[in-house]
Amino acid sequence: MPGSPDTAGLLQPTSIGGVLQLRNRICMAAMTRNRCIDGNKPTDIVAQHYGTRAKDGVGMIISEGIFISYDGSDFLHTPLLFLEEHARAWKKVTDEVHKAGGLMLFQPWHAGRLQNEEMSMLKENNYPVLAPSNIPASGDRYRLLEGHPGHSKNITEITNPEEIIDQYRNTASLAQTAGFDGVEVLAQGGYLLHTFLLKRSNQRTDKYGGSAENRCRFVLDVIDAIIEIWGAGKVGIKISPVDEYHDTASPYHEISQTYSYLISQLVARELGFITLSRRGYDTEPRPTGTELPPDYEPLQEFGDMIKFPGSKTSLIVNYEYSVEEAERLIRSDKIDLVQIGRPFISNPDLISRIRKGIPLAENDRGGDLLYGPYQHPDVGYNDWSAAE
């Protein structure tokens, strides 16, 4: 692909797991947009959104997070994938991406303790807020509930983890029916898988709690279940070791021990890729007891554990990487790919702009374009112009 000499590395084709062939090294990151207005299923406007970015030539698209079961988060129009009807709806989206020569991966999402049992979907189906332990998360405001309460205080500790693993199996199988090309497991942001990894949210006394090895067990069991369906090369995971989002900030020594073990196990499984997010690395001040070493970056500690001679696991980085920084890291052989998120909202032609050296358009519409409210779901979603 021709391009500016300043972005020659980013625009080179590459492969993941020896099975996914990418046009370039730029991925569109998963972004919740709250636009699945047909019973939490995607419509034609969602297919248009992803299809437009595939037509422009993005290397790989990661879907927005898609819930694997009933959900009680503060978004009414986030998507689901646990029934055949959900898979049929997503097939229209992946068909549009494939028609443009693109790849689209499925991101399975379980919100864990970041829900409220009064939200309509949970209430109507009498479904509990599940978490590793009965430890509520602080913060948030549920705008759609009277009094704007926070996350649930009425948490049900998971008694049979295999039931949740089966939900991941089910959704991973349906993702094949839906035409996705692979899976990126979400294990950050304070959601279910992330909370199993952390001592502050996991105080179990069974084989899923206690030591770093035990706290990683649930995540690895989910990964193994999905690998059985997809094969290791088409499966990846998104982790954020120093995340402090949603009451997750943890002591550095715990982070180092837990993620060193987790990454070693993922690489040993020859996982297709690991997306390493650095969210939280620049938070100042961090909560007392969770401070990081000076000038700390997760890539410095964990990058060489993923990307090394002979490794079959690609290293993708995420969280506010500029085009210039990503290019530098690719040229210095520190990473394989980069995920870019919000710039894809206002730049449906992001790849073309990078190729031609055209500056990226900035969002000048404020924060409501992310999740709403909106008069029509196309607003802030499918109404951005390409560069002349």
pLDDT in tens, 127-141: 999 999 999 999 888
- For residue 376, pLDDT over 50 is answered with yes
pLDDT at 140: 85
Q: Answer with the residue of higher pLDDT: 369 or 94.
A: 94
Q: pTM above the 0.75 mark?
A: yes
Residue 362 located in a structural domain: no
pLDDT at 2: 39
pLDDT at 3: 44
Residue 121 located in a structural domain: yes
Please list, in sequence order, all residues whose beta carbon lies within 8 angstroms of the beta carbon of residue 145, skipping any fewer than 6 positions away. Answer: 116, 118, 119
Residue 24 located in a structural domain: no
Residue 358 located in a structural domain: no
Residue 364 located in a structural domain: no
Number of domains making up the chain? 1
Residue 378 located in a structural domain: no
CA distance 115 to 122: 9
Average pLDDT, the chain: 96
Catalytically active residues, by annotation = 191
Q: What is the CATH number of the domain that holds 281?
A: 3.20.20.70
Residues 212-221: what's their mean pLDDT? 98
Using 50, 70 and 90 to split pLDDT, how confident is the model at 369?
confident
pLDDT, tens only, 26-40: 999 999 999 999 999
Structural domain span for residue 207: 13-18+63-74+104-345
pLDDT at 388: 78
Residue 241 located in a structural domain: yes
Residue 280 located in a structural domain: yes
pLDDT at 368: 82
